[in-house]
Structures are given as structure tokens and as C-alpha cells.
Structure 1
Amino acid sequence: MFDYQAPSQLLKDKVILVTGAGDGIGKAAAITYAKHGATVILLGRTTKKLDAVYDYIERHHLPQAAIVPLNLDGAGEHDYIELANTIEAEFGHLDGILHNAGILGERTPISTYDPTLFDKVMRINVTSQLLLTQTLLPLMQRAQNASVIFTSSGVGRKAKANWGAYAISKFATEAMMQLFSSELAELSPNIRANAINPGATRTSMRASAYPEEDPDTLPTPEEIMPLYLYLMGEDSLTTNGKSLDAQ
């Protein structure tokens, strides 16, 4: 899917929520979706970064985006309900979610992993995805076809030493995707759920995990966007419950 050629208006008139949209893969995905016709809802923790993405979209005369500053670590049920109410009032439905936001935590042995940090990683990488998807399901049920994309990892398929809470959170993400995909096939067949393993990509998280690695040897987030487009567009209508590699 690395060579997928998306039609220029693949996502025309679609409304797509991207979490972690202020930087890295989330930023690249938000801009790429906008370039293919989507109205993008930019969700993230840092308003300044979201503003920069919004301004880029405006400067290039793409469909006007929306900004939702939200710290997923401290978000509660009322925050997600408020988000759903805002989307309903502004757009009436939702065509897709890209669950991109996440944190690395620490690369330390699980036997000595800090339990407070463990809880934080799980809240951001797992619990927030559950609550967000649950709350927004009614809006996606109104769409003709909707797509939920989870972000996986190689260490979410086979754990490696010292990947701690991050690896566990990605195993949980894989399970969540599989549960949503199988259950929605019966409950809401217009909604599909899949996961993407972006692979080694030139991002700040990758740099934190591998500080001695030369980032210039890695593909940029923009270079791995073909799969993100494929799974969000209607060429993937029959793809459900898959965990795919972007590289």
C-alpha cells in the first residue's frame, strides 16, 4: 500500500478527526486529508502547534479546519461528550477518526517500571481511544461510510525488552481494533476499523526512542501517507479488522 495513488478528491466533503494533529504523523495526516478534500478536526494538547497546522491549511485554501485543544491525559467523560456535541452542532456527522496521539513513556525494564507513568501511558494510548470512539460512534453511524484508524507498532505485535508500557499499550490497541471491527460489522456495518503500524519514521517520538539514530535515514511522515489515505477513503470499504504496515 506504500505506492497507493489516491484520487485528488478522495475525501471530498468528509469530516475527519485527527488526534495528535499538531506534530509528526498526525500533522502530516491532517494536512494530507485536507489536501484530498476533507474537513479536518485538529485535536491535540498544544494549541500553538494546532494553530500552525490550521494556518497552513488556510494558507493553501484547503477546506477550513477546526481546532479542539484537549489533553487526553486529563480528559474525562464530559470532555468527550462536549466534543461530540460540538461536532454534531457544526457538522452533523463524522466520517473518520485517526487515533494518532500517544506517548512513549520510558524504555526501561517492566520489572522496575514506574506505576504512575504506566498509568499515564495507558490513559493516553488506550483509555482515551476507547472513550473517544465510544462517544463518537453515534456520529459515525450517520455517515454513509466511516473509518476508524488506530496506530499500532511492531512492539505491539511482538514485545521487545525495555519497551514497557508502550508495548503493552500497543498490544491493547491491536485488541481494541479487533473488537471494534468485529462488533461493528454486526452493529454498524457502515463503520470499519483498522490499524496502521507506521514503522520507523522521522518523528520526535522515534528520536526519543532511538537517540543515536540518524533521522535523515528514515522516511518522513509525508512519505508514509499512502496507507493513511487508503484506509480513510472509500477504496478500503471492504478492509476491516486489519493491522497493516505503512512501509
Structure 2
Amino acid sequence: MQSHSQYVASDNALRDKIVLITGAGDGIGKQAAITFAQHGAEVILLGRTVAKLESTYDEIVSNGGLQPTIVPIDFKGASPKNYQDMVASIEGQLKKIDVVLFNASVLGNLCPFHEIKESEFLEVNQVNLNSQFFMTQALLPLLKKNKNTSVIYTTSSVGRTGRAYWGTYSISKFATEGMMQVLADEYKNTGIRFNCINPGATKTSMRAKAFPGEKPDSLKTPEDIMPTYLYLASDDSIGVNGQSLDCQVK
């Protein structure tokens, strides 16, 4: 059986699918948006920095992809009502969402547990956990209308095994895995599947912040790890639910 990390998607694997991606202006989120569009998806680009979202938009259109939708949103400050209004606007315009990729995360500072500042803990969890919780709640009524829907959360190896000095980020990813498992169990007899994806060590600005001494060229690029993302977004992963998949299988 073909490994999801070696998955080869057909050119039209995501045709007629509408895919919402958070953190779509940079790094893995940007690459996922470009890759999904190359396979026929119409993408909704969510993020804080409009110029970065416009750059993703331009690249998709120049590649011949369907015209994306840009939705600027600050996950740090958005309220549950903001997410409900956002979903209502998307439903009015596009009628459905087939795939959701929760990619946006912040690292915070790596430091001893007793030095974690309240503001830091609250901010990291606001972006990495709370925003996803409230956005998922807002999206569920729309997602339920589909025959099959894939919701993908982004995890990390430190969201499975705690690591010294990674307290805030690690806790946010443990919680993300837990939320995914709760949802997967709750919706196991429906058309919505919930899974996590662990990109692994990837050449991104977040990775460079966490490991400043690392040689970037020794890492996989966001493009290298796209097979697992395509697998979970495509109908080939129907029936896969409650799993936490590694893009980089040793």
C-alpha cells in the first residue's frame, strides 16, 4: 500500500472542491494553497497580512488556477462572532467548504516553564488553539451539509511528547491533538473526517526561529511535504479519521 508521504495525486484530485486554509500567506500554508489550486481546488486564503495573501493569490492565478478568495483575519484578536460572520459570508458567496486546513500557528518564546509569561501563554494559545476551536464551531453547520468533508489540524512532535523549554507551544499542540480526537469520535458516523498532520522539520521561518543554528538546506521544503496534505484533502482519504499523520516518515 502506498504511504501517504509518497502519495501521488491526480491532476484533478481536488476539482470542484473549495478549500479554506489559515496562514495562507507564508510557508507551508502558502505552498498548500498553491498545490491545492494546481490540483483543481478553489482556495480561500485566510491570514493576517493582506500583502502576503495577495502574493499567494497572484501565484495561483499566474499558474492558471481558479481565482482564490482572500479573507484577512487576525487570529489573535478575532472573536467567536467574527468567525460566525466570516462563515456566513463564505456560505453566501461560495455555498460550501469541502476541506479546511488549520495551518496558522505561532511559536512563542522557548524558555523554562517557570519563566513563561502570562501574556505569552495566552497569546500563543489564542492563535494555536482558541481560534481553531471557535472557527471549527462556526464552520460545523456548513461542513455538515457536505457528503464528505476533510478537516486537517496542524500538530507537531512536541504535541505528542512534551519537550523541555517548549512549554507553551507544546501545550497548544497537545490540546490541538485532543480537540481533533474529540471531534473525530463525535462525528465518526458522519461525512466529516478530522485528522492532524505533523509537517516535521521543514524549511520555514518558524523553524529558523526555533533552531537558529540549523542549516536550512538540510531540511525538507514545504513543497517536499505536500503529498500528505494532498492525501488528506482528497477523496482517497475518505475513511481516515482521528489519525495524526507524519509528512516525513522515517
Same fold (TM over 0.5): yes
What percentage of residue pairs aligned between the two structures are identical?
Answer: 51
Match of 1:67 in 2: 70
Q: How does 1:40-55 map to 2 (within 5 A)?
A: 40-55=43-58
- For residue 182 of structure 1, the aligned residue among 160, 166, 185 is 185
CA displacement at 1:233 relative to structure 2: 0.5
Match of 2:167 in 1: 164
Q: TM-score with structure 2 length normalisation?
A: 0.97
* SS, match of residue 188 in structure 2: helix
Quick check: 1:88–1:139 contact (8 Å CA) kept in 2? yes
Distance in 1 between residues matched to 2:161 and 2:63, nearest whole Å? 41
Distance in 2 between residues matched to 1:175 and 1:2, nearest whole Å? 23
Gaps of 5+ in 1: none
Mean alpha-carbon deviation: is it higher for 140-149 or for 220-229? 140-149
- For residue 121 of structure 1, the aligned residue among 120, 124, 138 is 124
Match of 1:215 in 2: 216
Gaps of 5+ in 2: none
CA displacement at 1:82 relative to structure 2: 1.4
Q: In the comparison of the two structures, how many residue pairs are matched? A: 245
Q: How does 1:9-158 map to 2 (within 5 A)?
A: 9-158=12-161
Mean alpha-carbon deviation: is it higher for 42-51 or for 74-83? 74-83
CA displacement at 1:59 relative to structure 2: 1.1
Match for 2:242: what amino acid?
G
CA displacement at 1:144 relative to structure 2: 2.0
* SS, match of residue 67 in structure 1: strand
After the TM superposition, which parts of structure 1 deviate over 6 Å for at least 4 consecutive aligned residues? none
User: Is the counterpart of residue 203 in structure 1 residue 204 in structure 2?
Assistant: yes
User: Over the residues paired in the alignment, what is the CA RMSD in angstroms?
Assistant: 0.7
